[in-house]
Amino acid sequence: MDFIRDYADWFYLIGAVLFILTLRGLSGPKTAIAGNRYGMIAMAIAVLTTFFVAENPVVWMIVGAMVLGAIVGIARARTVPMTQMPETVALMHSLVGLAAVLIAVAAIIHNNELAKLDVGLLQANGVNFHEMSKVHLFELFVGCFVGAITFTASVFAYGKLAAKKWAKTISGTWVKPVQALIFITMFAAGIHFFLTGNMTSFWAMTGLALVFGWVWIAPVGGGDMPVVVSLLNSFSGWAAAGIGFTLENNMLIVAGSLVGSSGAILSYIMCKAMNRSIINVLFGGAMGGTAVVVDTGDKAPRNHRSGSADDAGFLMSNADSVVIVPGYGMAQGRAQNAVKELANLLKEQGVTVRFAIHPVAGRMPGHMNVLLAEADVPYEDILEMDEINSDFPVTDVVLVIGANDVVNPAAKDDPSSPIYGMPILEAHKARTIMVIKRSMATGYAGLDNDLFYNDKTMMIFGDAKKVVEDMTKAINGNGH
C-alpha cells in the first residue's frame, strides 16, 4: 500500500509515542491495563507498517510465522499459572535474543550473496546494493553478540526459575577465569570480524557468545534471579535496538531503546532494594544457590512457636490493624483470592487491613502486585516498603504468607549475614507476627530466618490457600 509506504515515518512516530505511553501506564497498577493496550496498538502499528514497507516480502512465510507465533503466544498466555510467570518472562527474553542473532546472521549472509552478483544486474532487477559500511558491521557485531548472550542466559534463567535439573548452578575458583577467557576470545573474534568482515570470525564470535551467556549466568544464585531477569530484559532491548540500526528500522530502534533503558533502571532499583551492586549480583554469586551455606552444625536447635488457623483467626478478628505480607508461597499456593476474601471479612468486622509489598518479593519485579491485582485487591490497600515500614510498630498483627528473605531481621541485625544491609519489611516490629509456611525450610536465598524464632511469632504450617481458608472459617465462627 503506497499510502503506508509514503507515511511510514509518521506511523512509526505514532507507534513510538504509544510505546512511551505504555511504559508510563505500566508504572502504576491503576494505569497498567491502559498501558498494555497502548503497547498492543503500538506493536500492531509497527508490525503492519514494517510489513508493507518491506521490499519484495515472502508473504506466506511472514504470515505463517505470525500466525504460528500468535497461536503459541495466546495459548501460553491463557494457560500459564502465576507461579510460572517469572520463568515465562525469562523464556520470552530468550526469544528476543535469538531473533537478534538470526536477523544478524541473515543480514550478513544476504549481503555476502549479493556481493557475489553483478551490480548492474542487481540494479536492473530493482535491487539496490551497497557494500556494508563499518558502521553496519559494528551494529551487527553488537546486536549479534548481545543477542546471543541474552538467548542462552535467558534460557538458563528459565531453567533455574522452573527448577529444571539441567539448569545447575556452577561454582569454583575456575569459573571467573573461564568466563574471562571466553569473553576476551569472543570479543577478539568480533573485533576481527568488524575489521575484516571474515565470516569465520563472525561464527566464532557468535558461538562463543552463546557459550558465554550460559557460563555467565550459571554461577548466579537463586536469590538474585529476579535481578537477572530484569537485566536480561534490558539486554534484549539493546539487542533489538542494535538490529534496528542494521535494518534501518526507526521503530525497532525506539522500542529496543525503551526496553533496554527501562530494564536497566529497574535492575538498578532492585539492586538498591537488596543493597547490592549489579557487579556483585552478576559476578559475586553471594546469594542463593550453592554460594550460601547455612552452618547449623555447631548451633543448638532453635525453638519456634506454632499455632493453628483457629488461633490466627481469633487474634486477627480481635485486632484493630492487620498488615498482610505476601510472598512466593502465596503464588505457589494460588492463595490470592482466599487472601482477598479474608481481608474483606476482617474489614467487615472493623479491622484495618493493608498489604505490604517488598520490591523483590516473589520471583520477578511486581510479582505480588500482579497477584493481588488478579484478585481485585483495592490498589489503595497495597503499600510499598517505604510507605508501610513506619507503621509496623503500631500494627497489632502481621500475617506473612510464604515470604522469607524480605522479612528476615538478619538483614538489619547480623553483620555476618550475606543479606546484611538489605532493606526489609520490618514485620518483626509488630505486636504479633503470624507466618504461614509449609515447613521451616530456608527461602530462596538459602538463609535461616530469625523472625521465625521470635517470641512474638506464631508459625502456622500448611498450604497457603488451605490455611487462609481455615482462618476465614474460624473468623466466621465455623472453624473446627
Task: Give bridge partners of residue 451 from the DSSP assignment.
Answer: none
Q: Which amino acid belongs to residue 371?
A: L
- Give yes or no for a contact between 447 and 292, defined as CB atoms under 8 angstroms apart: yes
Extract the runs of DSSP E, i.e. beta strands, from 237-378: 321-326, 352-357
Distance (Å, whole) CA 257 – CA 93: 15
Task: Report yes or no: 427 and 449 within 8 Å, Cβ to Cβ.
Answer: no
Q: Are 322 and 316 in contact (CB under 8 A)?
A: yes
Cell 559494528 locates to 138
| Buried-exposed string 123-152: b where 16+ CB fall within 10 A, e elsewhere | eeeeeeeeebeeebbebbbbbbbbbbbbbb
Pairing of the two strands 321-326 and 397-401: parallel
433 touches 392 (CB < 8 A): no
Give the Å distances, CA to CA, from 455 to 149, 414, 430, 464. Answer: 48, 18, 12, 22
C-alpha pair distances (Å), 464 with each of 336, 339, 402, 471: 9, 9, 7, 11
CA distance 264 to 387: 24
| Residue type at position 474 | A
Report whether 18 contacts 42 (CB < 8 A).
yes
Residue whose entry in the numeric block shows the C-alpha cell 533502571: 265
Provide φ and ψ at 356, rounded to 5°: -110, 125
Q: CA-CA distance, 385 to 373, in Å (whole number)?
A: 18
Q: Counting Cβ atoms within 10 Å, is residue 59 exposed (0-12), middle (13-18) or buried (19+)?
A: exposed
Catalytic residue among 405, 448, 450, 470: 405
Q: Based on the residue annotation, tell me whether 470 is a catalytic residue of this protein.
A: no
183 backbone φψ class: left, alpha, beta (φ>0; ψ -120 to 50): alpha
Quote the cell numbers at residue 439: 515447613
Residue type, 466: K
CA distances to 80, 99, 313, 408, 458 from 474, in Å: 32, 54, 5, 29, 16
Residue 269 to residues 222, 358, 373, Cα–Cα distance (Å): 18, 12, 22
Catalytic residues: 405
